[in-house]
């Protein structure tokens, strides 16, 4: 799981540190930096996938530097614990505001006992799992050199970290834009969830034994739901179809014919049911934008019970009162800023014991009044 995130000179973050639980709820006013935390982790995931470069405007654009600073170097650190193995990844990106481009000046991975990888100013030094020095080579300053390392028996810790980051799900669901058909499979859910049917096809192949449990969960959520099927609509193209009604008189609806809220629930429960045992961390921004009130707490209960066992960790960003009241007291972290200053993080309930606890106000009511600080 991700234990700690450090970000400096990126958007509203200056010397910012965030420590995460197995289940974390990030709350705060608009503009406090909740989504920006996920943006940073999404950028790192894209970089470590090996499909993006720091010159790509959608992940490390020049305007992502903190506006009131003149420094050109951005720093990111992620502390990860994988079955007791503590690993620290560090990335330093140098922005050139004149040329409007970026390059990596440092990329490093270390574990307890010493270094595992170091890429500095174009030169890579590999280390084995026992921290002994391995080969050296040159690499492109604009892309992750760690993403290009070939997996061998002696660098299992490095490749395990890389696979962990690549499998991390970072999303903010946009059901109106979801595609209803898929001509292939995707191992990763897109940031907006639009490729869910492709992702579902992949999960169905890899996690067929969990599909029955998933369908049973959906029967409790969607009235009259009986199951899914992938209808053939082309040589390789399949359309996701939901089956509703009684066994002797079923009704079928294409994924595109379902409501936005139904599609959002289908994706949320797929993440908690079909990714079991894969070690995927779930980072979800505003999961309840399209979800009805009565469906929120059942999914939160499912998520809370699964964290730390079915999957290692989940981080939610949400303004919703149900999420704040259910998770805020134990797992809530408040992000705040003074004016346009840097973001700070603190426990959500610090100093609020007199207002909540045995008091008359729920935590969401305290926040609605602006008393959270």
Q: What's the pLDDT tens digit per position in 189-228?
A: 999 999 999 999 998 887 788 888 899 999 999 999 999 9
Cβ atoms 165, 44 nearer than 8 A: yes
> pLDDT band at 356, cuts 50/70/90?
low
pLDDT band of 359, cuts 50, 70, 90: low
Rounded-to-integer distance, Cα 134 and Cα 159, Å:
15
Of 71, 67, 79, which Cα lies nearest the Cα of 6? 79
Residue 133 included in any domain? no
Q: What pLDDT, on a 0 to 100 scale, did the predictor assign at position 13? A: 96
Let me know if residue 263 belongs to a domain.
yes
Q: Computed from CA positions of residues 129, 131, 134, 136, in that sequence, does the dihedral angle turn out positive or negative?
A: positive
Residue pLDDT, tens place only, 312-335: 899 999 999 999 999 998 899 999
pLDDT band at 27 (very low <50, low <70, confident <90, very high): very high
Number of domains forming the structure of the chain: 1
Mean pLDDT, residues 85-109 taken together? 92
Give the pLDDT confidence score for residue 275 in this predicted structure: 83
- Burial annotation 274-308 (CB, 10 A radius, 16+ → b, else e): bbbeebbbbbbbbbbbbbeeebbeebbebbbebbe
CB atoms within 10 A of CB 245: 12
Rounded-to-integer distance, Cα 152 and Cα 155, Å: 6
Domain assignment present for residue 216? The answer is yes
For the ranges 15-24, 129-138, 360-369, the lowest mean pLDDT is seen at 360-369
Residue 191 resides in a domain: yes
Helices (H), the chain: 34-49, 57-60, 156-167, 196-206, 211-221, 260-273, 293-306, 321-331, 363-368
pLDDT single digits (tens) 274-311:
887 778 899 999 999 999 999 999 999 999 998 888 88
Question: Phi then psi for 122, rounded to 5 degrees?
Answer: 90, -5
Which is more confident, 303 or 359? 303
Which of 93-97, 121-125, 273-277 is the most confident on average?
121-125
Range of the domain at 204: 177-272
CB 133 within 8 A of CB 124: no
Closest CA to 106 of 96, 121, 117: 121
Mean pLDDT of 261-276: 92
Residue 194's pLDDT is 96
At residue 354 the predicted structure's pLDDT band, cuts being 50, 70 and 90, is: low
**Which tokens belong to 306?**
């699964």
If DSSP codes are grouped into helix, strand and coil, which group holds residue 204?
Answer: helix
* Domain assignment present for 212: yes
Q: Is the pLDDT of residue 246 over 90?
A: no
Radius of gyration of the chain (CA): 22
Distance CA 285, CA 56 (A): 22
Nearest CA-CA partner of 81 in 164, 176, 137: 164
Crossing angle (nearest 10°) for helices 211-221 and 260-273: 140
Q: Which two tokens stand for residue 23?
A: 């289940």
| Mean predicted lDDT score pLDDT of the chain | 91
Domain membership flag for residue 283: no
Cα(155)–Cα(334) distance, integer angstroms:
38
Note whether residue 200 is domain-resident: yes
Q: Which two tokens stand for residue 142?
A: 């604009």
- Residue 20 tokens read as 């995460």
Which range, of 42-56, 333-347, 359-373, averages the lowest pLDDT? Answer: 359-373
Residue 27 lies in a domain: no
Beta bridge partners of 256: none
């Amino acid at each position: 799981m991700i234990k700690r995130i450090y970000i400096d000179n990126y958007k509203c973050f200056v010397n910012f540190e965030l420590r995460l639980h197995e289940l974390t709820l990030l709350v705060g006013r608009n503009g406090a930096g909740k989504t920006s935390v996920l943006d940073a982790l999404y950028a790192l995931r894209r970089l470590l996938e090996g499909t993006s470069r720091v010159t790509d405007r959608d992940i490390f654009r020049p305007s992502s530097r903190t506006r009131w600073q003149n420094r050109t170097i951005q720093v990111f650190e992620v502390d990860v614990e994988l079955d007791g193995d503590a690993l620290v990844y560090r990335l330093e990106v140098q922005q050139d505001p004149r040329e409007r481009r970026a390059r990596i000046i440092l990329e490093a991975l270390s574990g307890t006992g010493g270094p595992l990888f170091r890429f500095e100013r174009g030169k890579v030094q590999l280390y084995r799992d026992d921290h002994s020095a391995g080969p050296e080579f040159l690499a492109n300053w604009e892309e992750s050199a760690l993403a290009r390392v070939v997996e061998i028996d002696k660098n299992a810790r490095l490749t395990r970290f890389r696979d962990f980051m690549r499998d991390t799900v970072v999303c903010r669901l946009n059901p109106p834009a979801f595609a209803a058909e898929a001509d292939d499979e995707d191992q990763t859910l897109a940031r907006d969830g639009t490729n869910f049917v492709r992702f579902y096809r992949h999960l169905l192949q890899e996690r067929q034994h969990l599909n029955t449990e998933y369908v049973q969960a959906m029967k409790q959520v969607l009235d009259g739901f009986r199951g899914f099927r992938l209808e053939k609509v082309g040589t390789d193209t399949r359309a996701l179809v939901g089956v509703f009604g009684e066994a002797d008189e079923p009704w079928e609806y294409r994924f595109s014919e379902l409501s936005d809220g139904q599609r959002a629930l289908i994706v949320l429960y797929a993440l908690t049911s079909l990714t079991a045992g894969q070690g995927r961390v779930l980072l979800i921004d505003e999961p309840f934008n399209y979800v009805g009130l009565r469906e929120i707490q059942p999914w939160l209960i499912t998520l809370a019970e699964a964290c730390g066992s079915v999957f290692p960790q989940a981080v939610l960003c949400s303004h919703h009162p149900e999420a704040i009241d259910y998770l805020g007291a134990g797992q809530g972290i408040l992000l705040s800023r003074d004016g346009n200053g840097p973001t700070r993080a603190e426990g959500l309930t610090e100093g609020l014991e007199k207002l909540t606890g045995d008091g008359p106000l729920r935590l969401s009511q305290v926040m609605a009044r602006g008393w959270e600080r």
